[in-house]
Amino acid sequence: MKKEKLTFKTLLGYGLGDLYGGGAMTIISMYYFVFLVEVVGINPALAGTTFLVSKLWDAVTDPFMGIISDNTRTKWGRRRPYFLAGIFLIFVSFALMWTPMPIKSQGLAFVFYLGAYLFFSTVYTMVWVPYQSIAAELTPDYDERTKLSTFRMVFSNLAGVLGATLSYDLFVVGLNREDPANGYFIMGICFGLFFALPYILTFLWCKEDPAFMNEPKKKIGTLKSFIRIYFIEPLSIKPFRNVTMMYLFGFMASDAVMMMALIFMKYYLKINSMMTLLVPVFGAMIIAIILLEVLQINRALGKKNTFTLSCIIWLGAFSTVFFMKPGMNQTLLTLFGIFFGIGNAGIQIMVFAMFPDIPDVDELFTNQRREGTFSGFFAFLRKAGGAFLMFIIGVSLDLAGYLEPIEKLVDGKLVKIDQVQSDSFLFSLLLLFTLIPSGLVAIAMIACMLYPLSKTVHERLRGFLVIQREARHQGIELTEEQKAEALELKKMLGDKNIAVG
């Protein structure tokens, strides 16, 4: 196996890769719905449907990309070729989503922007699944994997704060107030380059352990076996179920906040600048992530307890939202942003620190490593959960009585003017903004409390896996003592349904 200590260059190269994941998803979750509704002119329910329909495609592409990545054999390894291929495609697919088209028909506009989103989603899958998979292959060490997650989250949230603030406050409001469509288009080009170019360094500096090239290739088989191997079997592993729920509901909660933040700030608090909220949010996230590593808080508390504490901080932050009023002193909003950022940082970094440990559990039960399979499943859930949430929120806003901007002729130009929203809509918006994210985080916290893989158990698991691999390669059976250790580990990890391969 590869040496466990990671170089700074490897950590940096891996971290830079999530400028794309963190930045693109932040911009899309915060502004794409608004772009479709207020710039393109699509009905909110139809705009939400754009995200939901695209996930039917992701249900196919994400798990298949996991298989393709696991089965890739090149001189660059299994994952890195997709980083190289993604450089150009990331730029084109992201810019296309924000390209203004002279389409008057809502139906035709829906088809075009759905197609653009499908293209982006496919490219995202092609790059993100191998990127997520390679973490487990860069080091087997429990704490070094946390370092990877730390670097990843620093750059992810750096991209998040830049995307959340500059994409709207600079490109749309600042430079193109009279032509928002052009502002979004320029933003798409600039951020497309910002997301694509770092993958040159990710490709050059993140080199997976060549030993994993010896893993047997995965077979797709029949539809029934495909569903069993790539959906049912992973979910039968308890640690994977727990991390999946933590990841899905934790990130859906963040998506819900980001999606509604602009509308909540604009209509409920009467604040037009997103920087008032987002600077403290992402600033606190970056500082919290760095402090987690510098002070080694996560090592003292453990990944599980750090995640739980982060959820409690998140819920505490959202308890203050009911005290917010239009025209209030912005100190409360700043404090909300800081504590929300701290809670969100802990949730994100711990999920991605836990994920690389899951293929080790999989190897215990199945005698194979399926990093790509798990990453494909994660990618699908990330996008499907976010899209379903956007659909639900879009429909909810429509039913609550959201009034779309209307076009008026001002100084010879057609401009869009915001309408005054009703009190009933504003109250519904307050409930949606607080209760949906808080409920999702509560579910993630419960899943974490049931997570069985501690550092002690993982170290014991790693020791056994070395013995299991050696026995497999030599074609010999495990001793009775070793078989007893395997059964004990399975009992500790809470799964008894998968036989050792």
Helices (H) then strands (E): counts for the chain: 20, 2
Specify whether 441 is located in the same domain as 488. no
End-to-end alpha carbon distance in the chain:
21
Nearest to 81 by CA among 248, 235, 199: 199
Q: Could you tell me if 324 and 264 are in contact, meaning their C-beta atoms sit under 8 angstroms apart?
A: no
Residue length of the chain: 501
Looking at the fold, whether 350 and 475 belong to one and the same domain comes out as: no
Query: Are residues 279 and 230 both part of a single domain?
Result: yes
Q: Under the phi-then-psi rule, with left for phi > 0, alpha for psi from -120 to 50, and beta for the rest, what region is 206?
A: beta
In this structure, the answer to whether residues 58 and 178 fall within a common structural domain is: yes
Query: Which run of H or of E encompasses 262?
Result: helix 238-263
Helix (H) or strand (E) holding 49: helix 44-71
pLDDT tens-place values along the chain, 501 residues long = 445 688 999 999 999 999 999 899 889 878 898 899 888 988 887 887 887 787 778 777 887 888 888 889 998 999 999 999 999 999 999 999 999 988 888 889 999 999 999 999 999 999 988 998 898 889 888 778 888 888 888 898 889 888 988 888 889 888 887 788 999 999 999 999 999 999 999 999 999 888 777 777 777 667 777 777 767 777 788 888 899 999 999 988 988 887 788 888 888 888 877 777 777 777 777 777 777 665 577 677 888 999 999 999 999 999 999 899 888 878 888 888 889 888 988 898 888 888 888 888 888 888 877 777 787 777 777 777 877 887 788 888 888 888 877 777 666 666 667 788 888 999 999 999 999 999 999 999 999 999 988 888 888 998 999 888 888 888 888 888 988 888 889 888 876 554 443
Q: Are residues 197 and 307 in the same domain?
A: yes
Domain around 489: 455-501
Q: Is residue 3 part of a domain?
A: no
- The verdict on residue 55 lying in a domain is yes
Tally of structural domains, the chain: 2
Q: Half-sphere exposure (CA, 13 Å, Cβ side) for 140? A: 18
- Judge whether 1 lies within some domain: no
Name the one residue in this structure whose structure tokens are 């995202």.
124
Q: Say yes or no: 125 and 188 in one domain.
A: yes
46, part of any domain: yes
For residues 275 and 278, give the distance between their C-alpha atoms in angstroms, rounded to a whole number: 5
Question: At 208, is the secondary structure helix, strand, or coil?
Answer: coil
DSSP state of 409: E
131 close to 202: Cβ distance less than 8 angstroms:
yes
- Paired with 413 in beta bridges are 410
351 and 373 within one domain: yes
331 lies in some domain? yes
> Which among 405, 341, 292 has a CA at the least distance from the CA of 157?
341
Q: Is the dihedral of CA 406, 411, 414, 416 positive or negative?
A: negative
> What are the residues facing 416 on neighbouring strands?
407
Residue 410 falls inside a structural domain: no
Q: Whole-angstrom Cα distance, residue 306 to residue 298?
A: 6
Q: What is the DSSP string of 80-101?
A: HHHHHHHHHHHHHHHHHHT---
Q: Which of 339, 322, 319, 323 is nearest to 277 (CA)?
A: 339
DSSP assignment of 416-439 equals EEPPPPPHHHHHHHHHHHHHHHHH
* Residues 193, 324 within the same domain: yes
Phi-psi region of 302 (alpha: psi -120 to 50; beta: other; left: phi over 0): left
For the domain that residue 179 is a member of, what is the CATH number? 1.20.1250.20
Q: Is the residue at 27 inside a domain?
A: yes
347 part of a folded domain: yes
